[in-house]
Amino acid sequence: MRSIKIAVVTLALLTACSPAAPKQVRVTPPPSPPMAEHQIAPVPSPVSTTLRSEVRIDPVALAIVEARVRFDRGEELFKAGYLVRAKEEFDGAIDLLLDTAALFPNNRRIDREITDLVAQVHALELSAFKEGDGFTDQKGEHAVIDDLQHIETFPAPIDPKFKKEVEEEIAEFVHDLPIEINDRVLTFLDYYQKGRGRTTIEMGLERVGKYQPMIEQILKEEGVPLDLIYLCQAESAFIPRALSRAKAKGMWQFIPARGKEYGLRQNWWIDERSDPEKSTRAAAKHLKDLYDEFGDWYLAMAAYNSGPGRVTRAMNRTGQNDFWKLVEKKALPKETINYIPTILALTIIGKNPEKYGFNVAPARALETERVGVDKATDLRVIAETLDIPVQDLKDLNPHILRWTTPPNDSEFELVLPKGYATTFTEKIALLPDNKRVLFRYHSVQKNETLGGIARKHGMSVAILTQANSLSPKKPLRVGQELMIPVSGVGPATVAAAALKTAARTKPDPQASAATPQKVIHKVRKGETLDRIASNYRTTVSAILSWNKNNDLTVIHPGDQITIFPGNR
């Protein structure tokens, strides 16, 4: 398609560059020497001699066409989430124009095209930021536990026949939670079977298929009832990023403090409350601790919902240690009063959904494996390298808040589809830092401020401070490295293009405007040539060429390296 497009535009350019053809052109060729008998007469050219002499090819126009084709292809890749390949196309388009500008200096068309193309690439970058590209927390989803606030707690009249049918049906199945049948439980059973709760339970019955093998295995290992899986359904309907009005999060709805208590890490990069496996392990341990404290599963579940302190105070105030008696005395919050009957109703339906009119096929169980990632690596880079859909990778890792895995985190684990761990080790684990991420580093210069750096890179101070765990009040240090959240095609590209344009369109090395500025960089601990080259918008090969007298095969802290920023 690309070649066809170029051919069509080229033909148009050729036509546009040619003068209007005369109505009639008569060309008298010079006499030819007599031909030998064995010679073949030459085939006449389809283009007349006159036209052949007047056709002019416009190299600037052709370069613009080729650059536009590359940009269009890059834009398609960008929208599909393949930012690595998109960046290659964008860079190729801009480099082509810069090379042409060097051959045709002060050409207004090429200068205007460079400015326009770079602006369009920058616009894509900004639009991606607005959509949460990389450095905005992914949005939480509705937590069904909040719905319990809006359900009337007073039980509705129940048909005795219905109660008897439920009791008989329960006797046919094994339960490892005590299942008490009373009017409150039957009210919720009716609510989920015939009322507004039907849609919620249908979604839960489908999603449970993804996680049921994993959840039941962990509950079994922790020695708690397997029926507690329906507590998870009551909390979130198995949505890993469920977020309640109380800021509880994940399938098991941990508040921040309780999550930290059970080892669920929460920072700017990740929130393990949304990690299905780790949060399930934490929930099982927490429920077991509550059972050890109260000696009753109903009270343990009530404490899980409202907090052990509140349940203890209700018991002390009323002198009761039975959940249903606490309900009668309205000693517990409205949500908690509804909580236990909800779990029991969901357990009854979950054991035999067809009996209650639910014909929902459970989703296929997820088969995954985990790999350690101790360096910041963009999910799009991983997905593109492993040839798996970006959205699939995000869905497997709801605990990752950004597009990028956390930097310098030896404890972090990435979840992959089963069978991909070996490929990851072969293709991703050995990637250099500058190939892993779609953001750059900024080395703080003298008199620079957070506000100035943020404006330079087209972002807010809040994003810059959060990404680097900085205090807005603490002054920056000269030489301090800041991580700049860009997807690889933003303001840094604009700056680099401007520098390259200046260098290529003004080749006179004596001209002050074109003379590159030399910087002596002092190597800091942990730096690599790749990192240094990226910081100064140059290449490793260029750095090596500027330092021929120094052996940079291995660099050490304190080494001094000559660099011409923005030059390659």
Enumerate the active-site residues.
Answer: 235
> CA 354: distance to chain centroid?
38
- Domain layout of the chain by residue ranges: 2-30+40-130, 141-356, 368-435
Q: Which residue has the higher pLDDT, 12 or 156?
A: 156
Task: Share the mean pLDDT of the chain.
Answer: 79
One of 3.40.1260.10, 1.20.140.10, 2.40.30.10, 1.10.530.10 is the CATH number of 141-356, namely: 1.10.530.10
Q: Which residue has the higher pLDDT, 52 or 563?
A: 563
Whose CA is closest to 273, among 303, 237, 309, 243?
A: 243
Q: Which amino acid is at 25?
A: V
Structure letter (DSSP) for residue 270: B
Q: Residue 53 in 3-state DSSP?
A: helix
> Which tokens hold the place of 494?
């604009």
Q: pLDDT for 262-309, tens place per residue?
A: 999 998 789 999 999 999 999 999 999 999 999 999 999 999 999 999
Q: Residue 436 in 3-state DSSP?
A: helix
> Which tokens hold the place of 6?
């170029």
| Separation CA 442–CA 444 (nearest Å) | 6
Q: What is the CA radius of gyration of the chain?
A: 34
SS3 letters across 98-121: HHHHHHCCCCHHHHHHHHHHHHHH
Q: Which residue has the higher pLDDT, 135 or 390?
A: 390
For residue 434, what are the CA distances in angstroms to 402, 431, 444? 18, 8, 19
Whose CA is closest to 156, among 131, 182, 135, 174?
A: 182
Whose CA is closest to 119, among 504, 460, 440, 493?
A: 493
Structure letter (DSSP) for residue 350: H
Whose CA is closest to 239, among 283, 196, 199, 206?
A: 206
Q: pLDDT for 116-149, tens place per residue?
A: 887 787 667 555 544 444 444 556 788 888 887 7
Q: Both ends of the chain: CA-CA distance in Å?
A: 32
Predicted confidence band at 418 (pLDDT cuts at 50, 70, 90)? very high
Q: Which residue has the higher pLDDT, 252 or 196?
A: 252
CB-based contact 96:70 (threshold 8 Å) = yes
